[in-house]
Amino acid sequence: MNMTHEVTNQPRPLVDHDLYAGNRPLRDALAFHLPGADEAPRHALGQLLGSAAMQGHARLANVHPPRLRTHDRFGHRIDEVEFHPSYHALMAAAVGAGLHGTPWARGPGAHVERAAAFMLFTELEPSILCPVSMSYAVTPALRANAALAADWFPKLASTAYDPRLVSFADKPGVTMGMGMTEKQGGSDVRANTTRAEFAEATPWGDCYRLTGHKWFFSAPMCDAFLVLAQAAGGLSCFFLPRVLPDGSRNALQIQRLKDKLGNHANASSEVEFHGALAWRVGDEGRGVAQILEMGTLTRLDCALGTAGLMRQALSLALNHCAQRHAFGKLLLAQPLMKNVLADLAIESEAATALALRLARAVDRQDDPHEAALRRVLTPVAKFWICKRGAAFAQEAMECLGGNGYVEEHGEGTMARIYREMPLNSIWEGAGNIMALDLLRALRGGGRAGTVVDALRAELDTARGAHPACDSFVDALPQRIDELADEPSARRLAQHLALALQAVLLHAHATPAVFEAFCRARLGGAEGLVFGTLPAGIDFDHLIDRALPVQGQA
């Protein structure tokens, strides 16, 4: 106690707990998708990511953001970004957990395991996952150049993290980024102006010289990038290493780092290529198709990442409300606050379910149903989960009252979540682009029938489980006809997302969660803000299930 007052009624921070053990919805979803799988590694990761030591790294990596050094003190260009040691500690943990290229070297189930781990990691620190996610996405695309893949694939799959800017041959593990967006166009990459001129044939195939720029080029300290440039045969995909095989630096200059709303631990840069050497991946003119292949994987990570952030925000809100008293009661016991928390819990579980279902589709690409479903799930999940993220973060922040809004030297995790949330919605295809991609998937030439059939088969798995769910699903064919034009594409994406989430909650949430979702999201009683669940919903069950530490209530 000091002279003026005693500090009371302030909650203990949520620290040193097993993030996986505390995430019942994720555990139930994994038991459904990977029955009988060993849970010990997930608990070990959950313990590590929930530890005070790792939380300390997350804070430090954000309050000491990356710094660009364009030149050394003698005036030579070096184009290096310096990071705080905590950034490297986080990267080592993410790569060590195999969140980048590793699943491509493993067997069935690896992508679902990785998806769960990625969501858990997001709860610790999302921005360092940018290069991790890009490395995951580029690994399969490299197969279009067998010689490059033979050299780089094993290092992308290795769990060793080595941040040095040296030749790949001297590194046990590597990371990669992606460069598409230019000043004049991001969504519409066909507007790219970077030029690629053929230089020579090499053991890695045709080598080109690239001249031009990229307006967004995240994680520029990665070992290599897949970039788009205009070759004689049209827009093409190229592999551009930072350090050339002979050990010299490639002609890539980092102009400056972006001053971003959030995502502070990650460096996002603007770059120029001054005749940089790059090797073609796939045929000339196939650049858009190549990049789209990567895009579908980074879009998966946007959905997973946002679901992870929602779970973190919910955990923080519950942790606060389980300890904070107002008007003579715990906040967790106040009837209206229960409605808010229960509504957030439903949303978080539905996001986790949808994101993980997409990961399962990625995992089983040799199954035609899963391949067709993935085509439609990707834009639906990325659109819906990411769109819900920012509103979710605001509501969870409000549960903490004023404390939620305070940064306090980077301790304010809720503020960090709030700043991060809009990013997944914008990058790798903003909301409209996703909704338009859904229309393409449903119309898509010969595959359209397959995609709609796969969707219908998936939705029929909950047939008869709830009248609201049945009528929502029954409305779908008509909705597709009515809404399959551009101005209505978001409405269609929303309808599909809600229907899919209902079916998934029926499959692996509790009956009470499924019932609440059907009534609150499909039954015509939807509110426009969180905390508007209709009467008769079992708030206590929803809250208990969501508590990050059992027995907290």
Ligand X SMILES: Cc1cc2nc3c(=O)[nH]c(=O)nc-3n(C[C@H](O)[C@H](O)[C@H](O)COP(=O)(O)OP(=O)(O)OC[C@H]3O[C@@H](n4cnc5c(N)ncnc54)[C@H](O)[C@@H]3O)c2cc1C
180 binds ligand X (CB under 6 A): yes
- Supply the minimum distance, in Å, between the C-beta of residue 217 and ligand X: 5
Task: Tell which one of 175, 268, 290, 306 touches ligand X (CB under 6 A).
Answer: 268
Assigned token pair, 122: 């997001």
Whether 214 contacts 194, CB under 8 Å: yes
218 binds ligand X (CB under 6 A): yes
- Label residue 275 left, alpha or beta by phi (over 0 means left) and psi (-120 to 50 means alpha): left
Whether 121 contacts 129, CB under 8 Å: yes
What pairs with residue 178 in β-bridges? 226
**Judged by CB, which is closer to ligand X: 194, or 315?**
194
177 binds ligand X (CB under 6 A): yes
217 binds ligand X (CB under 6 A): yes
- Supply the minimum distance, in Å, between the C-beta of residue 391 and ligand X: 17
263 binds ligand X (CB under 6 A): yes
Residue 471, C-beta contacts closer than 8 angstroms, at least 6 positions apart? none
- Supply the minimum distance, in Å, between the C-beta of residue 304 and ligand X: 17
x/- mask, ligand X, residues 117-136, rule CB under 6 A, reads --------------------
185 binds ligand X (CB under 6 A): yes
Assigned token pair, 132: 């991790």
179 binds ligand X (CB under 6 A): yes
- Supply the minimum distance, in Å, between the C-beta of residue 298 and ligand X: 9
**Judged by CB, which is closer to ligand X: 346, or 381?**
381
**Judged by CB, which is closer to ligand X: 267, or 340?**
267
250 binds ligand X (CB under 6 A): no
- Supply the minimum distance, in Å, between the C-beta of residue 475 and ligand X: 25
Cα 382 to Cα 358: distance, rounded to the nearest angstrom: 10
Whether 184 contacts 191, CB under 8 Å: yes
Residue 28, C-beta contacts closer than 8 angstroms, at least 6 positions apart? 508, 509
**Judged by CB, which is closer to ligand X: 167, or 187?**
187
Which residues in the 414-433 window bind ligand X by CB under 6 A? 423, 426-428, 430-433
Q: Which amino acid is at 23?
A: N
3-state secondary structure of 115: helix
> Angle between the 287-321 and 413-426 helix axes, to the nearest 10 degrees?
150
x/- mask, ligand X, residues 390-419, rule CB under 6 A, reads ------------------------------
Cα 259 to Cα 262: distance, rounded to the nearest angstrom: 9
Half-sphere exposure of 8 (CA within 13 A, CB side): 6
Strands 176-179 and 224-231: parallel
**Judged by CB, which is closer to ligand X: 181, or 501?**
181
- Supply the minimum distance, in Å, between the C-beta of residue 132 and ligand X: 13
- State the burial class of residue 366 (Cβ atoms within 10 Å of its Cβ: 0-12, 13-18, 19+): exposed
Taking CB positions, which residue lies at the least distance from ligand X? 186
- By CB under 6 A, name the binding residues for ligand X: 177-181, 185-188, 216-218, 260, 263, 268, 423, 426-428, 430-433
